[in-house]
Amino acid sequence: MGWQERIEVNPRILVGKPVIKGTRISVELVLDLLSSGATVDDVVRDYPHITRDDVLACVAFAAATIRSERTYPVSA
């Protein structure tokens, strides 16, 4: 199962921020927790209504978003 089955963007939920489907837990929150040193198990323990696969889907969503981003060099 890919991140597409677990992550949704709905303008009526958190003003359109990507969230774990069926929750108001944003991808941003999950990434912030992980980047602050929390483990996947920590996140699931603190938010028992989400799963390990939900947390990994947040990471996969972020990777896919960055992968599709275009960058343009700017001369100094």
Is 76 within a domain? no
| Phi then psi dihedrals of residue 15, to 5 deg | 55, 35
The closest of 46, 57, 72 to 22, measured between CA atoms, is 57
Q: How many structural domains is the chain composed of?
A: 1
pLDDT at 74: 83
- Give 20-72 pLDDT, tens digit per residue: 999 999 999 999 999 999 999 999 999 999 999 999 999 999 999 999 887 77
* Confidence at 7, pLDDT banded by 50, 70, 90: very high
pTM, two decimals, is 0.88
What three-state secondary structure class fits 5?
helix
Is 73 within a domain? no
CA distance 29 to 17: 10
Structure-token pair, residue 54: 């939900």
Structure-token pair, residue 65: 């978003």
Q: For residues 56, 65, 1 and 40, what is the CA-based torsion angle, rounded to 10 degrees?
A: 0
The CATH number that applies at residue 19 is 1.10.10.10
Range of the domain at 64: 3-68
pLDDT at 70: 79
